[in-house]
Chain A
């Protein structure tokens, strides 16, 4: 275990983290993994701390994962969702959050459609801010749990070839993965139609391919992103069927992958679109490991961002 010391109050994105900081979160996550395997799945690390989960966009799995992480660390939690909050009455985000902060909360977990919203709040709040997704910008805990899973299965990140396939343009998951993976020395290849994988992504230090079959036999990790059916209406691709034919991972295409490759998906899966059911449930899939690991990673993040900052230890 490294001797690195965590100093940050917030987790906003992987862009602003160093390789050492990312590795420290991953190492810490390993220690939290064990808690969920116990008969009594609870430790008193966040006892007496208050966490507010503020979700302005619908979310099931991310919210459940954050909530379970909070509960297993003994935090007191409050859930606020956009529908039914005073935001529908025209209150600004800053007013909403300042009101929550007046209750002396310790951690704010927020998902919001505006990129940079978590960053803005972190500057005015004394509480720790954990970004649970800000527009198409970043989804750092998803990026971390993906990288944790790759490291768990492949033993390393350095020099691995990782393909991220699908709607990169609108994906915060892709961006967090790209930042994290490239910092840790992986080679990232983005795959998808030109409309969803524009050339300017090359500036992030990745390769781009518009032909999945060219890439598939050469990579160690395939991370399949969800295709949002609404995108088709904006003419970004002609039909779901054609998309699936060119960029979907099905029975036929899975035969071409390396024998020790892994297949990932952040969920929820459109079975039959980006991935066939047999692949999602097949031997290469680590999709449910990602879910389990997400819990450990989120616990580690809470532990690190709530670090004392108040003086010397006494034990």
Chain B
């Protein structure tokens, strides 16, 4: 049997995104070189929400991109079937921009490593910062997030899933599943 724990609900997620938006503006005073890039798939919806908050705070139109990291994965040789590739939509040259990379859950760090490599093929950003909704630990690479919604200490066999109303047809929430021996 699995134990299911709700770690964040709709209001929690909304509050946390608002807070992260303020942190981003605080750290990047002018916010004018900022580009928000969401990692497919859940990172995209989070990035869109973050973008909404940031536009409201700064009263400025902020460029937005979508990144599919499939081409840059380090495990393509080790998997059974090729994953489905979606398109990357980055229309701006990222040279001299501050890229805020957005993902849902930070875990091994390998997705972020792949995303960093992918971003470098779109120019030479002035800076790349990482924003994640959940940091669950267990890093396998030296990677750290600049903006964290919530730190959730986990065991490796636990599973964290983010559900969003845009993609999952249910209220936003974050679920932790624990398999009981």
Which A residues have a C-beta under 8 Å from some C-beta of B?
1-3, 5-7, 27-28, 30-35, 38-40, 42-45, 300, 303-304, 306-315
B123/A39 in contact, CB under 8 A: yes
Give per-residue flags for B66-109: 1 if the beta carbon is below 8 A from chain A beta carbons, else 0: 00101111111111111111111100010000000000000010
B85/A43 in contact, CB under 8 A: no
Cβ–Cβ < 8 Å partners of A310 in chain B: 77-80
Cβ–Cβ < 8 Å partners of B81 in chain A: 5-7, 307-309
Cβ–Cβ < 8 Å partners of A306 in chain B: 82
- Distance in Å from the Cβ of B134 to the closest Cβ of chain A? 16
Which of A30, A34, A308 contacts B82 (CB under 8 A)?
A: A308
Across the A-B interface, how many residue pairs have beta carbons closer than 8 Å? 86
Answer whether A308 and B76 are a contact pair too, CB < 8 Å, given A1-B86, A44-B71, A315-B110: yes
B75/A31 in contact, CB under 8 A: no
Answer whether A311 and B122 are a contact pair too, CB < 8 Å, given A44-B71, A303-B85: no
A31/B87 in contact, CB under 8 A: yes
Answer whether A303 and B75 are a contact pair too, CB < 8 Å, given A34-B87, A38-B122, A40-B122: no
List 6 tightest A-B contacts by C-beta distance, closest first: A313-B79, A307-B82, A43-B71, A31-B85, A308-B79, A40-B121
CB pairs A–B below 8 angstroms (25 shown): A5-B81, A6-B81, A7-B81, A28-B84, A30-B87, A39-B122, A40-B121, A40-B122, A42-B121, A44-B71, A44-B117, A303-B85, A306-B82, A308-B77, A308-B79, A310-B77, A310-B78, A310-B80, A312-B79, A312-B80, A313-B75, A314-B78, A314-B79, A315-B75, A315-B111
